[in-house]
Structure 1
Amino acid sequence: MTIDDPVFGIHPAALQLQRRRLELIAANIANADTPGFKARDLDFREVLASAQTVGRVSTGEPGYRLAVQPSADGNTVDVQIEQAQFADAALRYQASLQFLDARIKGLLTALTGQ
């Protein structure tokens, strides 16, 4: 049984997607003062919708986030929004980890009979 086994559902793919999203958001925050930097993010719903048509979840193509407020140097990073998005992605990542942990513990209980 691998982590890609259907018994784990979509959660292994969701972990990969959220990890990629966390990396993108961290890069956005790191480049908050870089002139001309364009904030990027993944749209989880879009990737999930494409997975339903293709049959598998990919890491998705990041899109550019629209600037809430224009800046003189062309940077589209809003640190407060990025921090909120990072917290949201981290929470979703943790939820998938907890689901997988519970599933693995349940399988071990079924196998050992305890």
Structure 2
Amino acid sequence: MNDILRTLEASASGMQAQSARLRHVSENIANADTPGYRRKTISFNETMEAGRMTGKVETGQVQLDQRDLPEIFDPSHPMAGESGNYFGSNVDLVVEIADAREAQRSYEANLKMFEQARQMSTRLLELLRR
């Protein structure tokens, strides 16, 4: 039963991590046209307890993409300098959509694992009741 609980915890932590990832992807997409906006990324770290890996993950710190911001020429833009240029966003919508799909599929895989572990524990309890 302890292994089933660990599986449930690992799957739940994976779903939480992918949910956080999707939240940052949606922020990036929403700010794709915001001048000066830098793409946000998040990392995952496997947790340790008593010196051994648990299989659970936690989110690391949010990091800003340090790639150069594109310089856009538009003299009519309110943020344009005297040269008519302003800095755009470094968000690439194709990359964000790919990240969103990957996060969604990872979330679904964790959800299936969670559901199977729950079903196994339910069947185990039914067997023990007999």
Q: Does residue 103 of the first structure (1) align with residue 117 of the second (2)?
A: yes
Residues 75 and 100 (structure 1 numbering): CA distance in 2 closer, same or farther, change over 3 Å?
same
In structure 1, the residue matched to 2:42 is 42
Aligned length: 106
Residues 105 and 54 (structure 1 numbering): CA distance in 2 closer, same or farther, change over 3 Å?
closer
Gaps of at least 5 residues in structure 2 are 72-86
Residue 64 of structure 1 and its aligned partner are, at CA, apart by 1.8
Written as runs of structure 1 = structure 2, the 5 A alignment for 1:1-114 is 5-44=5-44, 47-48=45-46, 51-52=47-48, 57-67=57-67, 70-72=69-71, 73-113=87-127
**Which one has a bigger Cα radius of gyration?**
2
Residue 77 of structure 1 and its aligned partner are, at CA, apart by 0.4
Residues 106 and 25 (structure 1 numbering): CA distance in 2 closer, same or farther, change over 3 Å?
same
Which structure carries more helix by proportion? 1
Contact 2:70 2:90 in 1 (8 A): yes
In 2: Cα distance, 1:91 partner to 1:7 partner = 18
Residue 57 of structure 1 and its aligned partner are, at CA, apart by 4.0
CA deviation string 1:68-107 (max 9, x = no partner):
x851124110000000011001100010000000110111
TM-score, normalised by the number of residues in structure 1? 0.79
Letter in 2 for 1:80: V
Letter in 1 for 2:70: S
Q: Give 3-state SS (helix, strand or coil) of 1:104's partner.
A: helix
In 2: Cα distance, 1:97 partner to 1:64 partner = 29
Q: CA RMSD in A?
A: 2.6
CA deviation string 1:24-72 (max 9, x = no partner):
001000100000111111123xx22xx23797743321112354x8511
Letter in 2 for 1:31: N
TM-score, normalised by the number of residues in structure 2? 0.70
Which structure carries more strand by proportion? 2
Gaps of at least 5 residues in structure 1 are none
In 2: Cα distance, 1:54 partner to 1:77 partner = 37
